[in-house]
């Protein structure tokens, strides 16, 4: 079976190289002073009753287009009425997103925004800061531990929080004091097969004081209740909302069901 993650990372390297040719990292550094003030996603999840991170996602490598014509102007404000934070996909080729989606969303909401992408270079951290993201996703499976550490340190320098995504017990070594939140991805990034039980399997092996986030494959409010009982404070949900006619309304119904 083709390893989708390897294909995405190879494309990401090519993409970032092209972006650097168009706008240098020095130009990005000059624009940092005008970046919006950051909000704490970690704090938002820790103090939230629901912990829902509502995701804006147009497509996925496994499902294809979910909502091709989705506009952040319409969906993001409807999410903000109930979600603790937002996750916005900025990968274009595989997920149909762009940095413009965060730039558009930022003035419309007060809640924290996570730039969800395959971050492999500090250049992408500067981009995230400039468009108004508050946190970035670092994926253990896509990075060597040393590189992950470097990126986490740089993210903090820029005032960005870090959600580290792990998928297996082998990746526990990536967790350290530079990590603000630990996400368990229930989707295998090589095969894109999803199993929510992965969160429960790993929960007991994680630091007790970590802000834990369960990602992918969550569609049942009862699962959220079980995850919360297992110590999770964040629940990243995208497709369950995005595949419906009114994602914001679906979120409200979901919130009522988990109360």
Query: Could you state, in order of their start, the residue ranges of all structural domains in the chain?
Result: 4-258
Q: Which two tokens stand for residue 61?
A: 């490598």
pLDDT for residue 163: 98
DSSP one-letter string for the chain: ---HHHHHHHHHHHHHHHHHHHS-HHHHHHHGGGSPPP--HHHHHHH-SS-EEEEE-SEETTTEES-TT--HHHHHHHHHTT-SEEEEE--STTT---HHHHHHHGGG--S-EEEES---SHHHHHHHHHHT-SEEEEEGGGS-HHHHHHHHHHHHHTT-EEEEEE-SGGGGGG-STT-SEEEEESB-TTT--B-THHHHHHHTTS-TTSEEEEES----HHHHHHHHHTTEEEEEE-HHHHTSS-HHHHHHHHHHHH-
User: What is the Rg, in whole angstroms, of the alpha carbon atoms belonging to the chain?
Assistant: 17
- Cα(70)–Cα(66) distance, rounded to whole angstroms? 9
Q: Are 179 and 164 in contact (CB under 8 A)?
A: yes
Strands 64-65 and 59-60: antiparallel
pLDDT in tens, the chain (259 residues): 358 889 999 999 999 999 999 999 999 999 898 888 899 999 999 999 899 999 999 998 888 999 999 999 999 999 999 999 999 999 999 999 999 999 999 999 999 999 999 999 999 999 999 999 999 999 999 999 999 999 999 999 999 999 999 999 999 999 999 999 999 998 776 666 778 889 999 998 998 888 999 998 899 999 999 999 999 999 999 999 999 999 999 999 999 999 8
Q: Report, as residue numbers or ranges, the catalytic residues.
A: 55, 57, 116, 165, 185, 215-216
Residue with tokens 């595949």: 243
pLDDT for residue 74: 96
**Confidence (pTM):** 0.95
Q: Are 104 and 94 in contact (CB under 8 A)?
A: no
pLDDT for residue 1: 36
pLDDT for residue 193: 75
CA distances from residue 92 to 15, 121, 163, 250 in whole angstroms, order as listed: 10, 17, 21, 25
Q: Which two tokens stand for residue 81?
A: 């009425």
Q: Which two tokens stand for residue 156?
A: 């903090």
CATH number of the structural domain 4-258: 3.20.20.70
pLDDT for residue 159: 96
């Amino acid at each position: 079976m083709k390893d989708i993650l390897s294909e995405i990372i190879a494309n990401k390297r090519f993409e970032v190289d092209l972006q650097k040719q168009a706008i240098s990292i020095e130009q990005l550094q000059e624009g940092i002073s005008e970046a919006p003030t950051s909000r704490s996603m970690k704090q938002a999840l820790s103090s939230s009753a629901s912990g829902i991170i509502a995701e804006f996602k147009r497509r996925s490598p496994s499902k294809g287009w979910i909502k091709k014509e989705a506009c952040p102007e319409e969906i993001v404000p409807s999410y903000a009425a109930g979600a603790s934070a937002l996750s916005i996909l900025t990968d274009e080729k595989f997920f149909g997103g762009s940095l413009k989606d965060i730039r558009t969303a930022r003035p419309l909401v007060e809640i924290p925004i996570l730039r969800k992408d395959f971050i492999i270079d500090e250049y992408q951290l500067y981009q995230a800061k400039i468009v108004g993201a508050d946190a970035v996703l670092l994926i253990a499976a896509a990075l060597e531990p040393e590189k992950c550490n470097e990126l986490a340190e740089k993210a903090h320098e820029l005032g960005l929080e870090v959600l580290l995504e792990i998928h297996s017990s082998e990746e526990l070594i990536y967790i350290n004091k530079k990590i603000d939140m630990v996400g368990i991805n229930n989707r295998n990034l090589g095969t894109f097969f999803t199993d929510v039980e992965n969160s429960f399997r790993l929960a007991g092996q994680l630091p007790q004081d970590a802000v834990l986030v369960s990602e992918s494959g969550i569609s049942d409010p009862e699962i959220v209740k079980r995850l919360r009982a297992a110590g999770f404070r964040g629940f990243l949900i995208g497709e369950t909302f995005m595949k419906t006619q009114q994602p914001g309304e679906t979120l409200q119904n979901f919130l009522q069901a988990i109360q």
